[in-house]
C-alpha cells in the first residue's frame, strides 16, 4: 500500500519549534486569529469544514513564501502543513468532533447494532471465503480500529484506518502466496473489513468517519487513502442497514438472533462493571464437557450445581471463579438495594414460604409507590 502520503511521520515538534521562532510571529497571529474566529459562530460542521480547508490552502501558500521556509524541500513544506492541521484541529476538537446530537445518536445506533451482530454474525454471512478465515490476524486489524479515539488529529485517526486495511491486505496477500488461492480484490477485501469492523466495534465510528472526511486536508484524501476510507464508510453503511436479506438469512432467524442478542446484552449490562467479561466469544454460552449450557443467572441454570470437585478442569475453575464473582456482586447489589428500601432480606425470603406475608408486603410496596418513595 501507499506509504508516502498517509504513513510518513511529519515532525510535529519541528513545526512547533518553527512557530516559536520570532520570524514566524505573523504565522502564529494568523493561526490564533483563525482559531478564535470560530468562537463567533455556532457550530456548523459543513461551514467549519470549509473554513478549515480554505485556511489550510491559504496557509500552504503563505508558508511556501515564508522566509523561514525558503530553502525547504517539498517534504518539509508538507510536514509543516501536517503540523498546522494537527495543531488547529486539536484546538478545535471539542467543537468539531461528534458535535451534533445527530452524530451522537448515530454513534450510539451503530455501536448498539454492532453489539447485537457480534453475537451471531459469522464470516460466511458476509461471503468471506473459507480459505481467508483467520481470526488471529483479524484481531490485529480490529485493534488498529479500536485505537482511533486515542488520537485527535484527523491524519492520525485516518492512519488507524489505513493500518487496519494494510493488515487485512497483507493477510490476503500471504494467503494467496501460501496457497493456490487466487485473490479476488474487493470481493475479498470488503467482506473481511466489514467483519473486522463488527469485531472491533470502533468507538464513535460514525463521528470519526465524518470528522476525517470534513477535516483531513482535502489534497490528502485522494487515491489509495480515499479508497480505503471509502471502504470503511461503506462498511458502516452496510452495518447500519444490515437485515435478514443482506446476510442471506431467513427473516425469522434474523429476528430471533437479534432478540437473543438483545437479551444477552441486557444481562451483561445488568452486571456491567462488576464482573470480568466472559472471555472469547461474547455470547453468554459456555462450553462444558462438549455441550453448550446457557448461563442464565435469572433463571437459575447454573452449570456447576451438580458437579463434584474431582470433575473440575482448570478451565472450569476459571469459569467457576467468574460465575462466583458474578453471583457475589449481584447479591451484594441486591442486598444494598433492599437496604435502601428498608426491606429486610429475611422478610423477603419469608414471603416465599408464607403467601399471607407476601400479600402484606405487596400492599406495603403499593403504598410506597403511591407516595413516590420508590422513584
Q: Which string of b and e fits 16-49 if b means at least 16 CB within 10 Å? A: eebbeeeebeebeeebeebeeebeeeeeebeebb
The answer to whether 127 contacts another protein (rule: CB under 8 A) is yes
Q: What does 248 interact with, of another protein, Mg ion, ligand GTP, none (CB < 5 to 8 A by kind)?
A: another protein
Residue 15 makes contact with another protein by CB under 8 A: no
Residues near 367 by beta carbon (within 8 Å), at least 6 away in sequence: none
Binding residue (CB under 8 A) for another protein from 186, 317, 373, 374: 186
Site string for Mg ion, 168-207 (x = CB under 5 A): -------------------x--------------------
End-to-end CA distance of the chain: 58
> Please, are residues 127 and 191 in contact by the beta-carbon 8 Å criterion?
yes
Please say which residue, 110 or 235, places its beta carbon nearer to ligand GTP: 235
For residue 6, count CB atoms less than 10 angstroms from its CB and return exposed for 0-12, middle for 13-18, buried for 19 or more. Answer: buried
Residues in contact with ligand GTP, shown as a per-residue x/- string from 177 to 196 under the rule CB under 6 A: -------x--x---------
223: left (phi over 0), alpha (psi -120 to 50) or beta: left
CA contacts within 13 A on the Cβ side of 15: 22
Q: Closest Cα to residue 145, out of 135, 160, 165? A: 160
- Choose between 60 and 267: whose C-beta lies nearer to another protein: 60
Does 127 participate in binding ligand GTP (rule CB under 6 A)?
no
Residue 279 C-alpha cell reads as: 472471555
| Options 16-24, 28-36, 234-242, 265-273: segment touching another protein (CB under 8 A) | 234-242
Phi, psi for 87 (deg, rounded to 5):
-60, -50
x-or-dash string of contact with another protein, 148-177, rule CB under 8 A: ---------------------x--xx--xx
Q: What are the residues whose beta carbons fall under 8 Å from the beta carbon of 259, sequence distance 6 or more?
A: none
Binding site residues, Mg ion, CB under 5 A: 187
Binding site for another protein (CB under 8 A): 1-5, 74, 78, 126-127, 169, 172-173, 176-177, 180-191, 218-219, 222-224, 227-228, 230-231, 233-234, 237-238, 241, 245-248
Which residues of the chain form contacts with ligand GTP (CB under 6 A)? 184, 187
Amino acid at each position: 500500500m501507499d506509504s508516502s502520503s498517509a504513513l510518513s511521520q511529519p515532525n510535529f515538534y519541528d513545526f512547533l519549534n518553527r512557530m516559536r521562532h520570532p520570524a514566524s510571529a505573523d504565522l502564529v497571529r494568523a493561526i490564533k486569529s483563525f482559531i478564535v474566529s470560530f468562537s463567533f459562530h455556532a457550530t456548523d460542521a459543513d461551514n467549519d469544514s470549509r473554513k478549515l480547508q480554505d485556511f489550510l490552502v491559504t496557509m500552504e501558500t503563505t508558508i511556501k513564501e515564508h522566509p523561514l521556509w525558503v530553502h525547504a524541500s517539498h517534504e518539509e513544506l508538507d510536514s509543516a502543513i501536517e503540523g498546522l492541521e494537527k495543531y488547529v484541529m486539536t484546538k478545535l476538537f471539542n467543537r468539531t468532533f461528534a458535535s451534533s446530537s445527530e452524530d451522537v445518536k448515530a454513534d450510539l445506533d451503530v455501536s448498539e447494532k454492532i453489539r447485537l451482530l457480534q453475537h451471531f454474525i459469522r464470516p460466511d454471512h458476509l461471503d468471506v471465503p473459507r480459505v481467508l478465515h483467520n481470526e488471529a490476524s483479524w484481531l490485529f486489524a480490529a485493534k488498529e480500529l479500536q485505537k482511533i479515539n486515542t488520537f485527535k488529529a484527523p491524519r492520525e485517526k485516518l492512519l488507524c484506518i489505513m493500518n487496519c486495511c494494510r493488515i487485512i491486505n497483507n493477510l490476503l496477500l500471504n494467503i494467496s502466496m501460501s496457497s493456490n488461492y487466487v485473490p479476488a480484490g474487493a470481493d475479498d477485501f470488503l467482506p473481511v473489513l466489514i467483519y473486522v469492523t463488527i469485531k472491533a466495534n470502533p468507538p464513535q465510528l460514525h463521528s470519526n468517519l465524518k470528522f476525517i472526511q470534513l477535516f483531513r486536508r482535502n489534497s490528502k484524501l485522494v487515491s489509495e487513502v480515499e479508497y480505503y476510507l471509502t471502504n470503511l464508510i461503506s462498511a458502516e453503511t452496510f452495518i447500519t442497514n444490515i437485515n435478514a436479506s443482506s446476510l442471506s438469512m431467513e427473516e425469522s432467524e434474523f429476528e430471533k438472533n437479534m432478540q437473543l442478542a438483545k437479551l444477552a446484552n441486557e444481562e451483561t449490562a445488568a452486571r456491567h462493571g462488576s464482573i470480568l467479561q466472559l472471555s472469547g466469544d461474547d455470547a453468554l454460552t459456555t462450553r462444558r464437557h462438549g455441550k453448550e449450557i446457557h448461563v442464565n443467572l435469572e433463571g437459575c441454570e447454573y452449570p456447576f450445581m451438580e458437579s463434584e470437585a474431582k470433575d473440575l478442569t482448570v478451565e472450569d475453575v476459571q469459569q467457576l471463579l467468574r460465575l462466583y464473582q458474578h453471583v457475589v456482586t449481584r447479591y451484594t447489589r441486591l442486598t444494598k438495594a433492599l437496604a435502601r428500601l428498608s426491606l429486610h432480606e429475611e422478610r423477603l425470603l419469608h414471603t416465599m414460604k408464607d403467601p399471607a406475608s407476601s400479600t402484606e408486603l405487596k400492599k406495603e410496596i403499593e403504598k410506597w409507590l403511591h407516595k413516590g418513595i420508590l422513584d
